[in-house]
């Protein structure tokens, strides 16, 4: 790989890091109940730069505060937490504009697929921003929040496709490992869907309790939580089998090792949330680990034939 390709690859990896940063920022927003800290979009209290104290609120500020579901008062922490989340999304869009331009200049004539996939990423991020507007307009309707998260996962997966195509590493010929990776991906997808159902319930339960009494949230969940908790062992086993099988191939064994480590971290955080009354910090970390795990298995699957 020449220097120009390496620079392009490193920037694409930076874009992927930025996608994960957006996911984490969104999780922190939910963890701190800051989702309506900026109750309008794309501005915040009618301003491009949010207020830092109540004296900077516009004269008609009450029309914004009444959209909130916590205390209907101005909270600078909630406002700036949500605003920083939006900034990470805006920066991701900027990086992708640069990425599209770079892809066009470098690969449009020789490898046009890279340009078109990069352009697709930009369109998807624009769609994600539109979903963000719907989330605000709907006052954090849980279904739209889930769609917002799933769209981010697709963006990360497409970015990995670009990275794999630029790397051009020799694929591993192992049909058994290929099918094991397919099964693991399917199990993880089912687990993600079950997890989103649980998350929507947690959103509704926590809101009904004014975001307190965390020790009672788990007991109020329905059968989806039982399914999510039980199927986690199936998904984990599938991933561990992929890890074990990948050790036979040095070119993918490192990815397999990271899959194993991430499985342990994700399961540990899930158990912590179940038995220690949903500690706030465990929520975004669990989501981050689950996202990374899915992407690691997906990346390994792309290396198999």
pLDDT digits 0-9 by tens, 118-166? 999 999 888 877 776 666 665 555 555 567 677 888 889 999 999 999 9
88 and 235 share one domain:
no
| 138-142, 156-160, 257-261, 300-304: range with lowest mean pLDDT | 138-142
185 and 291 share one domain:
yes
145 and 37 share one domain:
yes
| 14-23, 35-44, 49-58, 291-300: range with lowest mean pLDDT | 35-44
Tens of pLDDT along 219-250? 888 898 999 999 999 999 999 999 999 999 99
Distance (Å, whole) CA 114 – CA 173: 24
Distance (Å, whole) CA 130 – CA 137: 11
129 and 3 share one domain:
yes
Three-state DSSP at 267 gives helix
Contacts of 142 by beta carbon, 8 Å cutoff, 6+ apart: 199, 200, 203, 204
123 and 191 share one domain:
no
**Minimal CA–CA distance to 121: which of 22, 257, 201, 206?**
22
151 and 292 share one domain:
no
Residue after which a domain boundary falls, among 136, 168, 200:
168
41 and 64 share one domain:
yes
Residue after which a domain boundary falls, among 111, 143, 168:
168
| Count of structural domains within the chain | 2
Q: What is the mean pLDDT of the chain?
A: 86
25 and 158 share one domain:
yes
**Minimal CA–CA distance to 189: which of 226, 157, 144?**
157
Q: What is the DSSP letter of 66?
A: T
Range of the structural domain that residue 125 is part of: 1-168
**How is residue 237 written in tokens?**
């086993």
187 and 211 share one domain:
yes
116 and 183 share one domain:
no
30 and 121 share one domain:
yes
Residue after which a domain boundary falls, among 140, 168, 196:
168
- Which is more confidently placed, 179 or 189? 179
184 and 95 share one domain:
no
């Amino acid at each position: 790989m020449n220097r120009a390709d390496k620079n392009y690859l490193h920037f694409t990896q930076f874009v992927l890091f930025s996608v994960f940063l957006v996911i984490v920022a969104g999780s922190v927003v939910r963890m701190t109940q800051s989702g309506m800290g900026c109750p309008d979009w794309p501005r915040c209290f009618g301003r491009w730069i949010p207020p830092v104290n109540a004296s900077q609120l516009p004269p008609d500020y009450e029309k914004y505060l009444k959209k909130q579901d916590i205390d209907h008062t101005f909270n600078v922490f909630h406002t700036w937490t949500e605003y920083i989340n939006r900034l990470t999304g805006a920066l991701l869009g900027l990086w992708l504009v640069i990425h599209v331009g770079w892809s066009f200049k470098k690969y449009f004539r020789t490898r046009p697929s890279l340009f078109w996939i990069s352009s697709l990423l930009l369109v998807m991020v624009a769609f994600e921003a539109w979903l963000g507007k719907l989330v605000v307009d709907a006052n954090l309707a849980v279904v739209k929040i889930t769609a917002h998260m799933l769209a981010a996962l697709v963006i990360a997966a497409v970015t990995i496709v670009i990275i794999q195509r630029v790397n051009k590493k020799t694929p591993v010929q192992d049909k058994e490992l290929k099918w094991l990776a397919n099964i693991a991906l399917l199990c993880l997808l089912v687990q993600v869907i079950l997890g989103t159902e649980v998350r929507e319930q947690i959103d509704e339960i926590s809101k009904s309790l004014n975001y307190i009494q965390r020790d009672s949230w788990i007991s109020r969940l329905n059968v989806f939580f039982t399914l999510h908790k039980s199927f986690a062992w199936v998904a984990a086993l599938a991933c561990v089998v992929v890890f074990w099988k990948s050790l036979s191939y040095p070119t993918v064994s490192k990815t397999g090792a990271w899959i194993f480590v991430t499985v342990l971290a994700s399961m540990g955080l899930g158990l912590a949330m179940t038995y220690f009354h949903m500690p706030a910090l465990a929520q975004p970390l669990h989501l981050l680990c689950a996202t990374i795990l899915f992407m690691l298995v997906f990346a390994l699957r792309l290396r198999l034939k």
